[in-house]
Amino acid sequence: MSEFLKIIDLTARAEEKELLHQVSLEIQEGETHVLLGPNGAGKSTLGYTIMGSPEYEVTGGKIYFQGDDITEEGADKRAKRGIFLSFQNPIEIPGITVSNFLRTALEQLTGERIKLFDFKKRLKNVMDTLQMDQSYADRDLNVGFSGGEKKKAEILQLLMLNPRLAILDETDSGLDVDAVKTVSKGIEEFQKKQGGSLLIITHNAKILEALKVDKTHVLVDGRIVAEGGPELVEDVGQNGFEKYLDKESY
Amino acid sequence: MERIKINHLPGQTWNRLGMNDIEIEKYSFEKNLEGKIREEKEELPGQGIAYCDKDKQGGLQRGTESSFDREEKSDCGSALGDAFVELLEETHMAQVVSLVAEAGEQKTYRMEFGKTEGAACGKFDLLAKQNCEMTVFQYFDDRTAAEQTKDARSGIRNRIRAEKGAYIKLVQVFLGGEREEILNDIGAVLEENAELEVDQIFLGGKKTVSGVLAQLRGRKSSFTSNIAYDIGQDERLDLNLIAKHIGKKTEAQMDVKGVLREGAHKLLRATVDFIPGCSGSVGKENEEVLLMDEEVVNQTVPLILCGEEDVEGAHGASIGRINEEYLFYLKSRGIPEKQIYEMLANARIETVLGKIDDGETRERVMAALVEG
């Protein structure tokens, strides 16, 4: 397998506070990784930093994607390379419908004009998979959506934009049991049919049930303190993070 | 040339701020605006608006006589003010297009105006009788203006009366070109339970002065204004919205969304005027401005005049550039910053198009946006 995402000694801060300390992590193409950690550990910060959020300043280390150094690149360029971040709190975009937004984004990502008929057909199929009412396509993106609807809209974007690497930042939080199932189905579709790589930030093992997890990382105080296979998810689920709290970097 | 001041702020502020009114050259209108009118989908007989006397068909009356009597005409009021009204009245040849919807009727009219040389005016009287619904679309497309129309000026006045329970929706679309000046005035009187919705889109336009005065006389009458604009290249837009709450439990909601680029200058006066006795009334104004350039001038005077205690008035504004969080979300989907600004600029127009909810209007505006 070729080197896909490689993070070496990444240190990042926001407003003078260092939030990530020499984090190193490697994901191979097609792999699914899970990132666990207590609240405030820096999990979202890592996801946002990989995506290139200007909120976080990288003060050390490097991020490589498919062999290229992307540490200084803007978010739009990273997205064009195939990186996708599913937001924990998606932004409302008044005046731009879900359909128009997705078509614009697809055209930007592919650099090609998308035929309306083909696009609508594909959008309908994906919405059916996610059990989303077709009327959502004509609604302004995330405006007036419930928490669950916003998360579904994020997975809709994931499946439509078809990235190479998807970072899911607590996509399952705030969802009821049925919604977790639907979202899980979408993620499974991305993993199995589209062959995408995943970095899943979660507190909920339910969303991982149908997925083949390759590796698990535990992040505490901005440091990776433990790594392992899928059994680590179960261990944390049963025993919590207590034994990791005072551990040095892995 | 003599100059006049129009589009006055109802409660004056410091003169040095230059926001109380706007000064224009005083000139005479030489002719009527050339255009076409359609009722529903059927074009009315005769090419364009003939302005012929005593021609009454399908609720449309064209000629020098208005369907309003003298008292009713002056009663509608003017947002641009007396100086502008006098300018129009001095033009003896100026004729009136009167649109009437009889009680219980549903009427839709479309008017379109293209290039007109010199200074031309259009006067429209809209009368919605009891419990009727009247929708009027007015398109002013100046993009086709010929070279010789560079000094062209337009004066437009809509006088509106909505009787008890009537609903009037007036949609105006201004697609700017080389025209020197557009003066657009709306004065309305609303009786009990009557509703007025004014939706306006301004795309470009060298100098546009526009105002709406809605007099909410009847109990539970309401006024909604949705405005979107996108101006640039040293263009100027001067807006004056006045909701005058006279009757009890009247409501007004004024939303203005816009984009300023390349040295554009916008001034918005938005006034909620609670007259003594209008208890239970609610008046709100809201503005969103996207600044695409550091050279733009964006001025706003939100004004709430309160002569009554039992009322609710509010104003809000969101002005500036797009915040980082918003920008990051859109960038993370592969959309570059320049494209995001364009997309959000169009979204402001799109929001108002959504409220207008009309295919033909959407097509016209979207075509203009695509042409840039």
Q: What pLDDT score was predicted for residue B31? A: 82
In a domain, B149, yes or no: yes
Q: Among B328, B334, B350, whose Cβ lies nearest the Cβ of A53?
A: B328
List the single range of A113-127, B135-149, B222-236, B356-370 with lowest mean pLDDT: B135-149
Helix (H) or strand (E) holding B80: none
In a domain, B340, yes or no: no
Question: Could you tell me if A86 and A206 lie in one domain?
Answer: yes
In a domain, B342, yes or no: no
The residue that leads in pLDDT, A238 or B180, is A238
Q: Which of B192, B191, B172, B193 is nearest to B183 (CA)?
A: B172
B102 contacts B131 by C-beta, under 8 angstroms: no
Residue B213 pLDDT more than 60? yes
Angle ∠(B88,B90,B95) on CA atoms, nearest 5: 60
Measured CA to CA, the distance from residue B303 to residue B102 in angstroms comes to 36
According to DSSP, residue A73 is labeled: -
In a domain, A35, yes or no: no
CATH number at residue A130: 3.40.50.300
List the single range of A92-101, A115-124, B221-230 with lowest mean pLDDT: A92-101
Question: Could you tell me if A111 and A178 lie in one domain?
Answer: yes
In a domain, A44, yes or no: no
> pTM value?
0.79
Q: What pLDDT score was predicted for residue B74? A: 65
The residue that leads in pLDDT, A65 or B234, is A65
Burial B176-186 (b: 16+ CB within 10 A, else e): bbbbbbbbbbb
**What are A's interface residues with B at a Cβ cutoff of 8 A?**
51-55, 74-76, 78-80, 84-85, 87, 90-91, 93-96, 101, 104-105, 108-109, 157, 161
CB contact under 8 A, B339 and A104: yes
Question: Quick one: average pLDDT of B100-124?
Answer: 86
Residue A244 pLDDT more than 50? yes
Q: What is the pLDDT of residues A14-46, one digit of tens each?
A: 988 999 999 999 999 999 999 999 999 999 999
In a domain, A38, yes or no: no
**Chain mean position to CA B120:** 18
CB contact under 8 A, B332 and A108: no
Q: What pLDDT score was predicted for residue B197? A: 98
Question: Could you tell me if A172 and A247 lie in one domain?
Answer: no
Question: Could you tell me if A138 and A198 lie in one domain?
Answer: yes
Question: Quick one: average pLDDT of B151-177?
Answer: 92
Q: Which of residues 317-336 of B touch A (CB under 8 A)?
A: 324-326, 328-336
In a domain, A41, yes or no: no
pLDDT category at B335 given cuts 50, 70, 90 is very high
Question: Could you tell me if A9 and A87 lie in one domain?
Answer: no
Q: Which of B266, B208, A69, B261 is nearest to A58 (CA)?
A: A69
Average pLDDT, chain A: 91
In a domain, B219, yes or no: yes
Question: Could you tell me if A155 and A189 lie in one domain?
Answer: yes
Q: What pLDDT score was predicted for residue B312? A: 97
The number of distinct structural domains making up chain A is 2
According to DSSP, residue A242 is labeled: G
Question: Quick one: average pLDDT of B338-360?
Answer: 90
In a domain, A40, yes or no: no
A22 contacts A223 by C-beta, under 8 angstroms: yes
Alpha helices in chain A (DSSP H): 43-51, 75-81, 98-110, 116-129, 147-161, 177-192, 231-239
* Domain range for A12: 1-30+49-72+214-250
Residues of B in contact with A78 (CB under 8 A): 332
* Domain range for B113: 3-323
List the single range of A52-66, A133-147, B34-48, B261-275 with lowest mean pLDDT: B34-48
Residue A220 pLDDT more than 70? yes
B228 contacts B201 by C-beta, under 8 angstroms: yes
In a domain, B349, yes or no: no
In a domain, B21, yes or no: yes
Q: Which of residues 172-231 of B touch A (CB under 8 A)?
A: none
How many percent of chain B have pLDDT more than 70? 87
Question: Quick one: average pLDDT of A60-74?
Answer: 96
Question: Could you tell me if A156 and A176 lie in one domain?
Answer: yes
Residue B345 pLDDT more than 90? no
pLDDT category at B49 given cuts 50, 70, 90 is very low
Which of B289, B324, B330 to mutate against chain A (most A CBs within 10 Å)? B330
Q: What pLDDT score was predicted for residue B347? A: 87
In a domain, A77, yes or no: no
Q: Which residues contact B89 (CB under 8 A, 6 or more apart)?
A: none
The number of distinct structural domains making up chain B is 1
Instruction: Please report where in the chains the tokens 């792999």 appear, as a residue.
Output: A31
Residues of A in contact with B330 (CB under 8 A): 91, 93
Q: What pLDDT score was predicted for residue B56? A: 44
Q: What pLDDT score was predicted for residue B238? A: 98
Q: What is the pLDDT of residues B30-42, one digit of tens each?
A: 888 888 887 765 5
Question: Could you tell me if A88 and A186 lie in one domain?
Answer: yes
In a domain, B36, yes or no: yes
Indicate the angle between helix axes A116-129 and A98-110, nearest 10 degrees.
110
Question: Could you tell me if A94 and A155 lie in one domain?
Answer: yes
Question: Quick one: average pLDDT of B51-69?
Answer: 50
Average pLDDT, chain B: 87
Q: What is the pLDDT of residues A157-214, one digit of tens each?
A: 999 999 999 999 999 887 888 888 888 889 998 988 888 999 999 877 778 887 889 9
